[in-house]
Chains A and B, each alone.
Chain A
Amino acid sequence: MTPIIDARGITKHYGKTVALDGLHLVADAGQVVAVLGPNGAGKTTFVRTVATLLRADAGTLRVAGHDARKDPAAVRRVIGLAGQFAAIEPAMTGRENLEMVARLFGQSRRTARASAGAVLEQLGLAGDGDRLARTYSGGMRRRLDLGASLVGAPRLLLLDEPTTGLDPRSRIELWEAIRSLVHGGTDVLLTTQYLDEADHLAGQVVIIDHGKAVAAGSPTELKRQIGANIVELHVRDACDLPRVAEMLGRLDHGETEIDEPTRRVSVRVDSGGEGLMSALRALQASGVELEDIAMRQPNLDEVFLALTGRPTEGSGAMAAAAA
C-alpha cells in the first residue's frame, strides 16, 4: 500500500541555517506517526513542508501519492493542518469557524453546515458551537482548531505540537480525540517534544535532530533500545549522594547520574516495577533517608543521550522543564 508520506532527502535552508538536512521519512497509512525532537530539530519545518506551506530546496516528497512540488493543490485537498497557535477566528462562533473552512474546501452552504455540525459533535463542542470562539477555554480552542482541520475530511492530519501548553486534562481529551480519528480511518502525523505523547499515540516514532532522522521505530522498539524507565531518588542529605549512587550502580541497572543542586540520583532501569523494587530494597537496607522516590519515563534528553551519545542542546532547560 502506498505510504501516506514518502519523504526522501528533504533539505531546507534559511540563509545559512540548515533546518532540514536530508530528512528521510516514510509513513505507512492507518496509524499515527510521531515526529519527536527538541526545539530547533526541524519538526515544524518538516510539517510545514508536508502541508505545502514551504517548498523544500531538495529531495522528493509525496503525500497521499501526490507530488508536493508539482501538484501542491492536490495535496491541500487531502490534508488538514492544526498547529500550536490555534488558527481560528475569535470573533466568530465555533460553528461559523468550521463552516468557513468547509466552504473554503469547496463545500456548498448546506454541506458546510452539515460538516460543521458533525465535527462539533465529534469533538464534544456541540453545546458551545454557537458561542464566539473568544469565549472558549484554551483546551476548547485547540479542539476547535483540530475541528477546522477535519471539516474537509482529510486523509492526513498534520498536528504541530498539538498539546503544548495544555493542562493535563485537556491534553488527555485531545489524545482521545486523536485516537478516535485514527480508528475512523484518518492518518495522523504529529510533532511533539514529549516522549509520553509519542508513546501513547503513535504506531511509529521518528526521532529527528538537526534536520535529520536519527532513529525510527515503534515506541516499544525505541524504548527497548534505551531502557524503558528512570528511577529517581531525592535524598535528604547531600553527602549521601555518592553512597546511594554507588549502591544503585552495583545493582546492575543502567548508568547512574547525580545532580547535586537538587540532591537527586537517577538510574536507568528496565521497564516494569522490578527496577524500582530492587532500588527500594537496597535503600531500606542502607538506612539512607529519602525525601522522595519516583519512577518515570525517560525524557527526550535521556532518549537523545542514549541514541546519539550526546546531550541535546539546551539540555539544562529541557531537564528543568521535565522535572
Chain B
Amino acid sequence: MTTIAPALERPRATDRRTGLVRSTSTVTRRALLRYVRTPQLIVLATVQMSLFFLIYRYMFGGAIHIAGMSYVDYLVPGFIATGVLFMGIGTATAMAEDLEQGFVDRLRSLPIPRSSVLVARATADTAILAWSTAFTAAVAFAVGFTLHGSAVDGLAAFGLVILFGFAFEWVFITMGLFAGNAQAAQGMGMIVFPFAFVSSAYVPVSSMPSWLRVFANHQPLTYMVDAVRSLTLGPDAQAVLGHPSSYYVGRSLLWTAAIIAVALPVAVAKYRRG
C-alpha cells in the first residue's frame, strides 16, 4: 500500500463543498451499515412487524368479521400501511441518538451540504422500511393473504406504502431533531398510536363509536390504508370500500404531498438552527 508521507495533502483554497450526491450516499451507507451490522436493529426491523402481524391475524382474525371477505385480506393492507408509522419511531430515535452522541456535530462541521444529512437519514430508513415491509408481505402471503387484483396492482400497493413511509420519515426526522435524545424521541413516538389504530387499518371505521369515527374519517392514515386496500382488493374494492381505488389513491397522494410540504422544510430549518 502506498503511504502518504509526511503530512496529508492540504486542501486547496479554491476547493468547494463536497457534492450532494457523494455526501448523501456516504452518509446513507453509514446508516445502512449500522442497521445491518447491529443484530438487535436488523432482527427487530425484519421480524417485529411480522410478529405483530401474526398476532393480529390469528388472535383477532377469529373474532372480527368483515362482510364478504376474510379478515386476513382486510388486515394485510391496513397493517402494512400503518407499519410505516411504527417503523418511523425508529427513525426519530436514530436521529435523536445521532444528535445526542455528537455524530451530527461531526457531520455539521464537515464541508457537506446541510440537506445531505437529512436526505441520507430519510433514504436509509425508507430502504429499511421497504425491506421490512417486503418481509412482512411474504409472511402475509404464507398465512393466506391473497391479492384480489392483478400483480401490477399489488406492486403499486407496495410502492404506495413505501411512498407514504418516505413522507412520514420527514415527520419523524423532525421529531428526532426536537427530541434531542433517544428517550424523548421514543416518548414523542407514542403519538403514532391514535393515528394507527383509530383508522380503517384493523377494523372498519363504521364499527367505531361516533366520536372516534370523526377522527378516523379525516386523518391521513385512513385514506392511505384504503388506497392500499383498494389496490389489493382489485375489482372487489368498490363493493367493500364504497369508492373506486382512484378516489382513495388520489386523496392519499394529496395527503402525502401535504405532509412532505410541511415536514421537510420544518426538519431542514430545525437542523440548520442547531
Contact = CB atoms under 8 A, between A and B. Distances in A.
Interface of A: 48, 51-54, 73, 76-81, 83-92, 96, 100-101, 103-106, 111, 114-115, 117-119, 121, 132, 148, 150-153, 155, 158, 184-185
Contacts, number: 112
B205 interface: no
Closest 9 CB pairs between A and B? A85-B102, A153-B8, A87-B102, A106-B18, A91-B37, A87-B106, A81-B109, A76-B111, A91-B34
Contact of B37 (A77, A132, A152, A185): A132
B26 A121 contact: no
Interface residues of B, number: 38
A115 B106 contact: no
A111 B106 CA distance: 20
Given A85-B101, A87-B103, A89-B34, A118 B26 contact: no
A81 B17 CA distance: 17
A53 B108 contact: yes
A115 B37 contact: no
B6 interface: yes
Contacts of B274: 53-54
Nearest to B272: A55
Contacts of A114: 1-4
Given A104-B107, A115-B8, 8 more contacts: A52-B109, A53-B108, A77-B15, A104-B22, A106-B19, A153-B7, A153-B11, A184-B7
Contacts of B22: 103-104, 106
8 contacts: A51-B105, A73-B111, A76-B111, A86-B102, A87-B105, A104-B23, A105-B110, A105-B111
A195 B274 CA distance: 31
A111 B15 CA distance: 15
A104 B102 CA distance: 16
A76 B108 CA distance: 9
Contact of A104 (B5, B10, B110): B110
Contact of A117 (B1, B7, B33): B1
Nearest to B7: A184
A100 B107 CA distance: 11
A53 B272 CA distance: 9
B16 A81 contact: no
Nearest to B1: A117
Nearest to A83: B102
Given A83-B102, A114-B4, A101 B109 contact: no
B30 interface: yes
A186 to B, nearest CB: 8
B110 A101 contact: yes
A79 B10 CA distance: 11
B2 A92 contact: no
A58 B3 CA distance: 45
A84 B100 CA distance: 12
B33 A118 contact: no
B207 interface: no
B224 to A, nearest CB: 32
Interface in B105-144: 105-112
Contacts of B210: none
Q: Which of B6, B16, B37 has the most CB of A within 10 A?
A: B37
A243 B23 CA distance: 69
A53 B33 contact: no
B33 A101 contact: no
B9 A153 contact: yes
A87 B34 contact: no
